[in-house]
């Protein structure tokens, strides 16, 4: 899941080398913390959060397969 | 596209070799001459071969198509969804068709997973707002099935509105879905349709035409 988020984020931003993803694993739920360059934050969130929502939708579909809840947090 | 080196006695000959290699007309090659070549004395002593670097010029839309296909393939691989992606260019639109395990996981509730993929791929490929190429992501013929279903819903709600002589509303629909409703009722003599709501998702209100007239008079 970590690689999935990293790949999507890198493809969306202007500065892919500043993309960082940390995984905090829990028993039933994992948290993915996504960090990008400050200037790229808008590209990850999108108008009215549309891009962030789309990323979370894909994450939900992917994690449904492995029966785990994965939460995406976008760090500022 | 990677450049390749070609040699010939003259630059023209080197270009001709590149044309044959790529099986494409000269105009579609990007050519850089690295050595003009010289004939030398009677073509015997001191002759130098002409060298060029040639690569195939890519149509920007074709390039986007390849990019879109690669992005989607990689996302599905990383999401561990076994699938393959076919890419086609129809009417200047990029159609990406996913062949998956048929579980419906890729479609999601009311197609929201499919829409999310489509939205993200479009963002990735169309980074500059100019020369934007529309991208449609589909699987298991979902887009067509959804359209057919919406057209049916339009007819059903339409006859309900007529029968009960009052307006009826659809569920919340996105612009493409609303378009299908409008098209289905476009030439209907007794019904009108209009959208209501805020944001991307709106309801379509279907009203009997005479009622609509009455409303205007009020």
State the DSSP code for B59. P
Q: Which residues of A touch B71 (CB under 8 A)?
A: 11
**Among all residues of chain B, which has the CA nearest to that of A56?**
B116
Contact: A62, B80; criterion CB under 8 Å:
yes
Give the residue from A8, A16, A40, A50 with the most B CB atoms within 10 Å of its CB, the best one to mutate: A8
The confidence score (pLDDT) of residue B137 equals 96
CB B52 within 8 A of CB B33: yes
User: Cβ contact (<8 Å) for A4 and B75?
Assistant: yes
pLDDT along chain B (218 residues), means of 10: 84 91 86 81 70 86 93 95 93 93 85 95 90 93 94 94 92 92 90 89 89 55
For residues A3-24, give the mean pLDDT: 96
Domain locations along chain A: 2-75
- Neighbour-count burial for B164-177, b at 16+ CB within 10 Å, e otherwise: eeebbebeebeeeb
Strands laid side by side in the B135-139 sheet: B84-90, B93-99, B135-139
Locate the domains of chain B by residue range. 4-56, 60-140, 145-217
Query: What are the structure tokens assigned to A15, written together?
Result: 């500065």
- Rounded to whole angstroms, the Cα distance separating B39 from B176 reads 65
Give residue B56's pLDDT: 84
Going by pLDDT thresholds of 50, 70 and 90, the confidence category of residue A28 is: confident
Rounded alpha-carbon distances, angstroms, from residue A24 to A41, B44, B135: 21, 72, 34
Identity of the residue in A7, A53, A57 whose CB atom sits nearest the CB atom of B108? A57
CATH of domain B145-217: 3.30.1370.50
> Does the distance separating the beta carbons of A8 and B106 come in below 8 Å?
no
A62 CB neighbours in chain B (<8 A) are 78-81
Measured between CB atoms, which of B75, B80, B81 is closest to A7?
A: B75
* Cα–Cα distance measured from residue B170 to residue B161, given in angstroms and rounded to the nearest whole number: 11
Determine the pLDDT at residue B216: 57
pLDDT in the model for residue B23: 87
Q: Which CATH superfamily is domain B60-140 in?
A: K homology (KH) domain (3.30.300.20)
On the 0-12 / 13-18 / 19+ scale of CB atoms within 10 A, B89 is middle
Q: Which of residues 67-126 of B touch A (CB under 8 A)?
A: 71, 74-75, 78-81, 105-106, 108, 112-113, 115-117, 119-120, 123-124
pLDDT one-digit tens code per residue, A33-50? 999 999 999 999 999 899
CATH fold of A2-75, please? GMP Synthetase; Chain A, domain 3 (3.30.300)
Contacts of B81 in chain A (CB under 8 A): 61-62, 65
Decide if A12 and B74 are in contact by the 8 Å CB cutoff.
no
Secondary-structure percent of chain A, ordered helix, strand, coil, rounded to 5: 55, 25, 20
């Amino acid at each position: 899941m970590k690689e999935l988020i990293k790949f999507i984020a890198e493809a969306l931003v202007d500065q892919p080398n500043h993309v960082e993803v940390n995984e905090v694993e829990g028993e039933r739920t994992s948290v993915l913390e996504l960090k990008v360059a400050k200037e790229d934050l808008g590209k990850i969130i999108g108008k009215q959060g549309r891009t962030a929502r789309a990323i979370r939708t894909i994450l939900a579909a992917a994690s449904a397969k492995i029966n785990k809840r994965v939460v995406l947090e976008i760090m500022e | 596209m990677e450049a390749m080196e070609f040699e010939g006695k003259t630059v023209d000959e080197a270009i001709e070799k590149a044309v044959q290699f790529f099986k494409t007309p000269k105009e579609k090659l990007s050519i850089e001459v690295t050595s003009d070549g010289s004939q030398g004395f009677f073509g015997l002593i001191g002759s130098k071969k002409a060298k060029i670097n040639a690569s195939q010029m890519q149509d920007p839309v074709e390039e986007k198509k390849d990019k879109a296909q690669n992005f989607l393939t990689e996302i599905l691989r990383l999401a561990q969804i076994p699938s393959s992606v076919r890419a086609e260019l129809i009417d200047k639109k990029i159609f990406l068709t996913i062949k998956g395990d048929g579980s419906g996981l890729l479609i999601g509730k009311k197609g929201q997973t499919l829409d999310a993929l489509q939205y993200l791929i479009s963002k990735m490929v169309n980074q500059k707002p100019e020369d934007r190429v529309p991208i449609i992501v589909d699987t298991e013929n979902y887009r067509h099935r959804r359209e057919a279903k919406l057209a049916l819903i339009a007819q059903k709600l339409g006859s309900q509105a007529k029968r009960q002589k009052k307006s009826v509303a659809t569920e919340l629909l996105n612009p493409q879905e609303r378009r299908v409703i409008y098209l289905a009722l476009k030439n209907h003599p007794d019904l009108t349709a209009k959208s209501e709501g805020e944001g991307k998702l709106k309801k379509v209100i279907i009203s009997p035409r005479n009622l609509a007239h009455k409303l205007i008079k009020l």
